[in-house]
Structure formats: C-alpha cells, structure tokens
Amino acid sequence: MTTAETSPPVPPAGPVHAAIEIVGLRKSFGDHQVLDGVDLAVPAGSVYALLGPNGAGKTTLVNILSTLLTADAGELRVAGHDVRREPARIRSTIGVTGQFSAIDLFLTGRENLRLMADLTHLDRATAARDVAGLLERFDLADAADRRALTWSGGMQRRLDLAMTLITRPRLIFLDEPTTGLDPRSRREVWQVVREQVADGVTVLLTTQYLEEADALADRVGVLDAGRLVAEGTPAELKARVPGDSTNLDDVFLALTGHAPLSATPDARPEATQEVTAR
Amino acid sequence: MSTTYVVRDSMTMLRRNLRHLSRYPSLALMLLAVPIVFLLMFVYVFGGTLGAGLPVDGGGTRADYLTYLVPGIWIMTVASVANGTAVSVAIDRTGGMFARFRTMDIARVSVLTGHVLGAVTRTLLALSVMIVFALLLGFRSDAGFVGWLGAAGLVLLLAFSFTWLTVAMGLAAGSIETASNTPLVLMVLPFVSSGFVPTEQMPAGLRHFAEHQPFTPIIETLRALTAGTPVGHEGWIAVGWCTVIGVTGYLWARRQFARVPVR
Ligand SMILES: Nc1ncnc2c1ncn2[C@@H]1O[C@H](COP(=O)(O)OP(=O)(O)O)[C@@H](O)[C@H]1O
Ligand SMILES: [Mg+2]
C-alpha cells in the first residue's frame, strides 16, 4: 500500500489536507436536537476519537459522514468531497464498521469477505489473497469455512472489521469498535487501527473509554448531548483530569464541570431507527 | 455507475442469495411443505366429496378434483416462496446488511435485484418440484406446447409481481416476525377464490368477492392453459392483476428502500 491519497487531487484546504471537515453540523430527529452545531477537522492520516456517553450523538455523526443520514445544516466535506453533492465519491473512499456487527450470518466468514471483495471489484487473484490474508490477520482462519452464525460475538466483530478493510478504504469510521470485546480482542483491534494509520489511512472512531482514545487518537473530541464540550490531544485532556481516573463520569466532571447530560441508557428500539436517504 | 457494474454487482448479489438457498435447503423445503400438505389433504381427505360436487356430468371423482385443484396449488406455491422472500429481505434490513451496502460505492439497484432474481429462481425450482409431484399423483393435461408456454409465462409474471410485493413487505416490516406474517394474506386469499371449489357454490356475498379478487382470474387462466381449453377474457384480467400488483410492489419497495434503517 502507498501512503498517497487515492482520491483525485483536490485543492488543499490548508497546510494539511483534511480528511474530514465539519462546520456547523446540526441534526434533529423530530424536536430532539441530536447534533447541535458541531465543528471538527481531522487531518488526513490521523486518528480522531469521539468520546462520549450513550446518546451523545456519536452514531448519528458517523451515519451522516458515511452518507447514511442527511444533516439538517452544516458544511461537510469527507475526503475532500461534499457529503450532500458527491456521496458516491465518498463511498468509494470510506469504510464503515458500525456499532452493531453487520455481517451475513448465513454465509461463512470467507464468503462474507469474498462478497465485499466482489463488490469492490477486486480481481480474483487479489480477492483470494486478501481474503486469506485478512482471515489470518484477524485470527479467523480456523473458523473461516463455518457459518458466521455459529461464531462468537467477538469473532463476528472482527469479521465486520475485516470486511471493512478488504474494500481498501482510505478513511475508516469505527463506531465503538471495542465495546463488548474482551481485553485481548480490544488490543487486537487497537493494533489493527495502528497498522492502518501506518499505511496512511485516516480513522475516525467513537468510544466510551478515555483509555482507548488515549491509546489510539491524535486528537480527542468530547461529545455530550450533541455538542463538542472539549477537544485536544489525549495528553491535554488527561492533564485536566485529576488523579488518573479514566472513568467517563470523572472525565466529564473535570472537563465540563458536570456529569454527562446525555448519559441515558441506549434503550431505543432498533426498528424505529429510520431515515430517508438521498 | 456504469452498466457493467450494475450487471456485475447484481450477479454478485444473486450469487449471495442462491448461496443462502444452498446453505439452508431446509428453509426452502418448509416453504414447499405448505402447498404439498394442502394438495395431499385436499385430494385425499376432501377430494372424494369435493370431486362429487364439481360441475361434471354425473358428478366428478377424486381424480377430477386433483385436476381441478392443481393449478391453484401451483399459484399457492408462488405465494409461499414469496413469503420467504419477505423474511430474507427483513433479515438484511434489520441485520444491517442493507446499511452496509449503502455505505459502499456499488450499483444501488443490485441490492434489490439480487433478492428479486434469487426469489424468482427459487419460485421456478419450487414449481418444478410441484409439477413433478402433481404428475406423480396422477395429474394429466391435454394442453399442447402453446398452452404450457402460456402457463410458464403467466407463472413467471406472477412470480415477479409477488416477489416485488413481498420485497416491499419485507422492507416495510419493523421486525422479521411482521415480515413473515404480512404476506400470509397471499396464502389465505386462494381459499376464497375458485382455487379449491368453484365460486358458484359460495353464498352470494362471498361469491362476489371470490370472483373479483385477483386469484380467481389468475387461477382460472392457469387452469385453462394447462387443460388446453380456451382462456377467454380472464387471461387479460389475470395479466392485468399481475401487472398492477407487480408495479405497485416495485414502487412501494423502491420507496421503502430509500428508508434504510440505521442501527
Ligand atoms: N432515527 C432516530 N430517531 C429518533 N431519535 C434518534 C434516532 N437516532 C438516534 N436518535 C436519538 O439521538 C440521540 C443520539 O443517538 P446516537 O447518535 O445513537 O448516540 P450515541 O451513538 O452517542 O449513543 C439519542 O438520544 C437517540 O435516542
Ligand atoms: Mg452509538
């Protein structure tokens, strides 16, 4: 892999080409203002972590940037393309691993990866090589020819990530990639993120763990009730938290003077999560 | 998105769909079980009595009833497979696969095309089984090549139209459960049509409904085509219904597909 951007040349927006530029992003569902004026920039080749409790708006933000949802307002550019006007260009550049595994449970792991490879129009030889490589890399080779239905949650999660990587994205969205994973799998995912970054890929991840943001991110944005309430390098943020607590409530108290506003349990029914696409 | 990619992506999606079938033949067999059980039950349990009531000179036999019943059972087979289609679409929708596909730069139509072509393939396979089954039970036909060709055309049209309708139902359903229940209406309606008994024997109100609902002209047309008797104007009504159901299903599905769930 090269470290050069594969997207067509775009006029640089500043000294460093930004992979994500958001100005004034707003989104509401009915009269619930879920994103309330978010500004954010992620330089190409860096890792940005969105830290926030359940209901902060992390998934909504990822869905908007990955062209699944439309914003109500805001200037949004992803990989140099306007989200509203050039969704197809963006889709050819990004990879998304959502908060819940989206894999074909009725296919084997190998077939799931092959499906993604075919949809990316990789040639046979490349597809076969990449599939085998990713199965090895994610420690899924032994189970590769069993249906994903029979796999553990952790394995399904890793398969989801592998399916995202096989499309060779230059920008990856990871929505709570390690929530629910055991410590070993979590470190495994962290390692994968680091390898991607070493290849020049940009990563935007969301998390509820300060230590995860600390381990991976160049910059951290703290999201609460649809607003970025603090931003900085992990070191800057940690310096503002007394002791070395990584408890999200303590972090919030230190950074904002109050507990998270949106710390509501994520109890909404899945089936009501609908949007109208472009 | 160029046409080559539309075709290529659609074939990829179709392959995925057919792989589900080969991986879970038991699911397909369950869908087949419904028409098979009804065929056996109606022919062997009720067939003697129902045959006697057929408007044949001197009253019909069990064999006459078999001939009468089979076209309706074939139509029911199409409906039964379509039922399964709604479920597999709902699984993709609630399981996040549709959302994943939507973040990828692929030909968007291919996602539904894969489901539709897969469903039509399943329908044709199921119908082949049901044709052989009917022949084994003693079904015989006087229809010529043209009649069977017409029958094949009608059934294919019906398969497409029911498939689009149930794809839409699967997309509209909030849960997999709902997706498996809504299309049951397609399994119930044949009972209130000329599929199992001639409508002349029904009470007036019911008879009026039975004669004007889509299944009756479709079944009558298939019956005439496979018996080698004249089709008459019922044929046009049947094609009309199939077209209306298919186009409505297609438009509804397209609308629903734009409202992909984001979990
Ligand atoms: N489709 C939707 N319809 C209505 N409310 C929604 C929808 N999606 C998210 N929400 C609400 O928006 C808020 C933010 O949700 P989300 O972006 O999922 O937060 P997070 O990912 O940080 O937990 C929550 O209060 C949630 O209930
Ligand atoms: Mg979330």
The residue in chain A having the minimum alpha-carbon distance to the alpha carbon of residue B172 is A271
DSSP A148-201: GGGS-HHHHHHHHHHHHHTT--SEEEEESTTTT--HHHHHHHHHHHHHHHHTT-
Domain residues of chain A, as ranges? 20-93+172-271, 105-168
pLDDT string in tens for chain A (278-residue length): 444 445 555 544 444 579 999 999 999 999 999 999 999 999 999 999 999 999 999 999 999 999 999 999 999 999 999 999 999 999 999 999 999 999 999 999 999 999 999 999 999 999 999 999 999 999 999 999 999 999 999 999 999 999 999 999 999 999 999 988 889 889 989 999 999 999 999 999 999 998 899 999 999 999 999 999 999 999 888 888 777 766 777 777 777 777 777 655 443 333 333 444 33
Q: Using a cut of 0.80, tell me whether the model's pTM lies above it.
A: yes
The answer, yes or no, to whether residue B10 has pLDDT greater than 70, is: yes
Query: Which residue, by CA, sits nearest to atom 26 of ligand 1?
Result: A55
Q: CA-to-CA distance for B122 and B106, rounded, in angstroms?
A: 25
Q: Write the residue in B5, B97, B102 that is nearest to A68 by C-beta.
A: B102
Q: How far is B208 from chain A (nearest CA, A)?
A: 39
What's the average model confidence in pLDDT over B160-183?
A: 94
B23 burial via Cβ count (<10 Å: 0-12, 13-18, 19+): middle
Helix H or strand E encompassing A78: strand A73-78
Q: Which of A27, A29, A274 to mutate to test the pocket of ligand 1 (most atoms within 8 A of CB)?
A: A29
The mean per-residue pLDDT over the stretch B188-196 comes to 94
Q: Give the C-alpha separation, B47 to B63, whole Å.
A: 8
Q: Using a CB-CB distance cutoff of 8 angstroms, which residues of chain A are in contact with residue B16? A: 104, 107, 111, 115
Percent of chain B with pLDDT over 90: 83
What confidence score (pLDDT) does residue B179 get?
Answer: 94
Measured between beta carbons, the chain B residues lying within 8 angstroms of A8 are: none
Q: Which pLDDT does position A3 carry in this prediction?
A: 45
* Mutational test site, ligand 1, from A25, A35, A59, A62, max ligand atoms within 8 Å of CB: A59
Kindly state the DSSP code that residue A147 receives in the 8-state scheme: B
State the virtual CA torsion across A247, A250, A252, A255 in degrees, nearest 10.
-120
Exposure of A202 by Cβ count < 10 A (0-12 exposed, 13-18 middle, 19+ buried)?
A: buried
The structural domains of chain B, with segments of one domain joined by +, span: 3-258
Maximum distance among all Cα pairs of chain B, rounded to whole angstroms:
67
In the CATH hierarchy, which fold is given to the domain comprising A20-93+172-271?
Answer: Rossmann fold (3.40.50)
